[in-house]
A = this chain, B = another copy of it.
Amino acid sequence: MYNELKTSNRILMGPGPSDAHPRVLKAMATPLIGHLDPEFVTIMDEVKMMVQQTFLTKNHLTFVVSAPGSAGMETCLVNLIEPGDEVIICINGVFGGRMVDIAERCGAIVHKIEKKWGAVVTTEDVKKALDHCPKPKMLALVHAETSTGALQPLEDISNMIHNAGGLFMVDAVTSYCGVPLKVDEWGIDAIYTGTQKCLSAPPGLSPVSFSDRAVKALENRKTKVQSWFLDLTLVKNYWGGAKRAYHHTAPVSSVFALRESLRIVLEEGLENRWKRHQDVHQVLKEKLENLGFTYLVDEQYRLPNLNSVFLPEENDEALIRNKLLKDYNIEVGGGLGAFAGKIWRIGIMGESCTLNHVNLLVSALEDIKEFKR
């Protein structure tokens, strides 16, 4: 009645998922073992250590949420916010806006720093917000805005919010394992990411880490966390502690794949991986500019791994994007929100970050008759 699964052999150069390494796909197909099997407990321990290594953190409360990055975002917010808490949230794209939505559902009083999409938040912006709200529970922002391709500097803002006595929360979904990210050195108190971007694992899990300061805030809560599934006072005993306490059933296969993708990152080395993304970006950038594309984000705040670009004038972006997919099996992303129909988001992330990917895309564009330089 339903046919065998048949999918085209896509080349993934959108905002994620990116191409998965064959070793990761192979791990995904490993026969299942029980989620409380001693062998799986060891695997969880190893994954936790590798997440610590790739986040560059010693945080004890480091683990993996059994759901995609958006659930990682919600995990950080529901565990740290109590009704009536004042928080500062920076919005310069879709995902900052999503943080506000979730924080308000937690009963937070949200002070927004709103920036033009594609711009980044400055220390001046934060200073003004702190003038209005001098004692916030936390400040949250997005390191790499997947909707715009902007890379947010973090260190100065981290110092400012700590001086004000608040926590520093960061969305690292699109930056993790693709650009420099140093959780301990930069004083990040709560961070979440996804698996399907520069890690090149299938989507579905969200690595998360909390600093001791954030753990203290969690322990000092006066109210219960509003989500049971995401309640870290429960989840932490599943991902650590002397005795594993059953909480939910971990997605065993996805954890196998995550383990393999982390292993691949550590084999390459974080710094080499950051450099590879930067190097391939330079090549892509030159070739795109030769074709008449222009970048949305100022050069100094540009993400190397997610290239948000305007097409040369007079091009029908949906038509060309469709041709790329249908005739060349190449996926690039369209715009989100304010930029829908206006920009492309070209991802070169993880396994999709190679010179061959760049050449395939550029050659296909050169081929397509309807594409006007």
Residues of chain A at the chain B interface (Cβ within 8 Å): 1-2, 5, 7-10, 12, 14, 16-20, 25-35, 37-39, 43, 46, 50, 66-71, 74, 78, 98, 101-102, 105-106, 194, 196, 202-204, 224-229, 246-254, 256-257, 259-260, 262-263, 266, 325, 331, 336
Taking CB atoms, residues of chain B closer than 8 Å to A32 are 10, 12, 17-20, 196, 202
Do A31 and B17 touch across chains, with their CB atoms under 8 A apart?
no
A251 proximity list for chain B (CB < 8 A): 68, 202-204, 251, 254
Partner of A204 from the list B17, B29, B66, B331 (CB cut-off 8 Å) is B66
A39–B3 alpha-carbon span in the complex (Å): 13
A78 to B74, CA, bound (A): 14
Complex Cα distance, B8 from A166, in Å, reads 47
A344 CA / B66 CA spacing, docked (Å) = 27
Q: Which 8 A-B pairs have the closest CB atoms?
A: A204-B251, A29-B29, A67-B67, A70-B248, A202-B253, A203-B249, A25-B29, A102-B228
- Which interface residue of A1, A5, A247 has the most chain B CB atoms within 10 A? A5
**8 Å CB contact of A71 from B67, B226, B257:** B67
Known: A10-B31, A68-B251. 14 other contacts (CB 8 A): A2-B46, A2-B50, A5-B256, A8-B39, A9-B31, A10-B33, A17-B34, A28-B253, A37-B331, A67-B229, A101-B228, A194-B249, A196-B252, A253-B253
In the complex, the answer to whether A228 meets B19 with C-beta atoms within 8 Å is: no
Asked if B259 and A70 sit within 8 Å, CB to CB, the answer is no
Question: What's the Cα separation between A98 and B247 when bound, in Å?
Answer: 10
A260 to chain B, nearest CB (A): 6
Residues in B whose Cβ lies below 8 Å from that of A266: 1-2
- Are A35 and B17 touching (Cβ within 8 A)? yes
| A33, B7: Cβ atoms closer than 8 Å | yes
The docked-state distance in angstroms from the alpha carbon of A283 to that of B153 is 65
In the bound complex, do residue A20 and residue B28 qualify as a contact, i.e. CB atoms below 8 Å apart?
Answer: no
A152 to B203, CA, bound (A): 36
With A37-B10, A105-B226, A226-B226 as known contacts, state yes or no: A67 contacts B69, CB within 8 Å: no
With CB as the reference atom, state the residue of chain B lying closest to A227.
B227
In the complex, A35 Cα to B146 Cα: how many Å?
A: 15
The answer on a CB contact under 8 Å between A28 and B31 is no
Give the docked Cα–Cα distance between A74 and B247 (Å): 13
Alpha-carbon distance A14/B336, docked complex (angstroms): 45
- Bound-complex Cα distance A35 to B228 (A): 27
16 A-B residue pairs with CB within 8 Å: A1-B266, A2-B50, A2-B262, A2-B263, A16-B249, A17-B32, A17-B252, A25-B29, A25-B31, A35-B203, A67-B67, A68-B248, A69-B249, A105-B224, A204-B252, A251-B254
* CB-based nearest B residue for A34: B331
**CB within 8 Å for A227 and B74 given contacts A203-B252, A251-B202, A251-B204:** yes
